[in-house]
Amino acid sequence: MRVSVFGLGYVGCVTAARLAEAGHKVIGVDVNDQKVAMVNSGVSPIVEPGLEELLGRVTTTGHLRATSSCEEAVAGSDLALICVGTPSQRNGRMSAEALARACRGIGNVLGATGKPYTVVVRSTVMPGTTAEVIVPALRAGIGNGERPDVKVAVNPEFMREGTALRDFISPPFTLVGCEDKATSWQLRELYEKVDAQFVHTSVRTAEMLKYASNAFHALKVCFANEIGDLCNATRVDAREVMRVFCLDHKLNISAAYLKPGFAFGGSCLPKDIRALNQLARAAEVDTPVLATLLPANAARIRAAAATVLATRKRRIGVVGLAFKSGTDDLRESPIVAVVECLIGKGLQLRILDHNVAVARLTGANRRYIEEEIPHISKLMCEGEEELLEHAEVLLIGNADEQSEAVLRAARPGQVIVDLTRNFRGRSAFAYSDGSECLSLPIDSASSRSALPLVH
């Protein structure tokens, strides 16, 4: 395949060299003449183990050359990988100047030649950048209306400095965001020799995934350091704690708890986070990440109540009261906190949770509902029909069969607030995206897929 790589910085150099090694004809492009000359001489413009030797081999074989001419690069390629920098501005916002400049240049050439072409964004970009910057810049350059033969895709890189050459050929996955299968297959061919699962997704998902990954990596570093500080303050071997911690691939190092939904609760997490933060204060250890967990959780609960209040409806039917599905535990349930807030605002609530039938509760759970929330126990329903008859708004607190049954029986005009975010995309229910939860009115059974978000 004939490929051009715009930007010969860290990502661009490694990408160009590895693709050339795989047998593609690659043209590197950069506005810096010194970088162009270095690459053409087989000299690496960046420090990365093994890169200079690889550049020497692929430039000698003629599989890689560099230029400062956009016209030459586009004329000699069928696909461009945009690897230019996206630095932070003073306010933290990503700068898209280099992206727009590169795409306008490509568009100018395509407008003059009329050739089919694929533009692939490999730079790290915020969601919406492709639609708001890349496509308009290409169109401005082309200058002659729609060009269906010019395709656009997003292909984030997942390389670490110091191990980039190895990471390129063995990434966690090859991620491509585009709207058509032909472009997806073109990129499958480009990365045919890369040892990784190929994931085809939407453009915006691909844009966001790199940020989600990096944010999680940063969170893990801060979390490990704070646990290490607490260990040191309490004479515990920090490395041994984290070594054993990482042996747990069911919960700790896994997909567990990484599904967007509602707040945490129950008898363990809130209590233990409070205890850990108290330990940090007593030991005079600064743990800002751990200290934000409970306030962040409380903000999620407030947002849920605010979403219900924003419907301006008075009669609310709550499905699920326990802190999660499959249990009768009400201790520190975030749904209970939402219910308390709504009652305090004067709304009329009815609650359905088959696991929390007061007559069946025993022990700590029965004492909790009788001593802490006796007023809530009086709001419990016996079945779906009673709840549906009462409710103008259905508040879904647990993702289970009970919630599915209620949603399937929902009447036209009832509003659904799904805190679990679990039912979007199901054939029976279709939800619009919301900032904190999903909320929409059901106008009719046939039009649930195109309904507006309630504000």
- Give the CA diameter of the chain: 82
CB distance 278 to 353 below 8 Å? no
Domains of the chain, with CATH numbers? 2-201 (3.40.50.720), 207-258 (no CATH), 297-450 (3.40.50.720)
Gap between the Cα atoms of 413 and 190, Å rounded? 50
Token couple for 368? 């909790």
CB distance 431 to 440 below 8 Å? yes
pTM of the model: 0.86
At residue 360, the pLDDT reads 60
For residue 379, give the amino acid letter: L
At residue 364, the pLDDT reads 67
Of 108, 119, 131, 102, whose CA–CA distance to 9 is shortest? 102
Measured at the CA of 289, the angle between CA 228 and CA 265, to 5 degrees, comes to: 110
User: How do the pLDDT tens digits run along the chain, 455 residues long?
Assistant: 999 999 999 999 999 999 999 999 999 999 999 999 999 999 999 999 999 999 999 999 999 999 999 999 999 999 999 999 999 999 999 999 999 999 999 999 999 998 999 999 999 999 999 999 999 999 999 997 778 899 999 999 999 999 999 999 999 999 999 999 999 999 999 999 999 999 999 999 999 999 999 999 999 999 999 999 999 999 999 999 999 999 999 999 999 999 999 999 988 999 999 999 999 999 999 999 999 999 999 999 999 999 999 999 999 999 999 898 888 888 889 999 999 999 999 999 999 998 886 546 566 667 777 777 788 878 988 889 999 999 999 999 998 899 999 999 998 889 999 999 887 544 333 333 332 333 333 333 322 332 222 32
Among the listed residues 246, 268, 341, 437, the single catalytic one is 268
At residue 453, the pLDDT reads 26
At residue 331, the pLDDT reads 85
Gap between the Cα atoms of 243 and 414, Å rounded? 51
At residue 427, the pLDDT reads 32
Token couple for 69? 């001419």
At residue 138, the pLDDT reads 96
- Is residue 268 annotated as part of the catalytic site, yes or no? yes
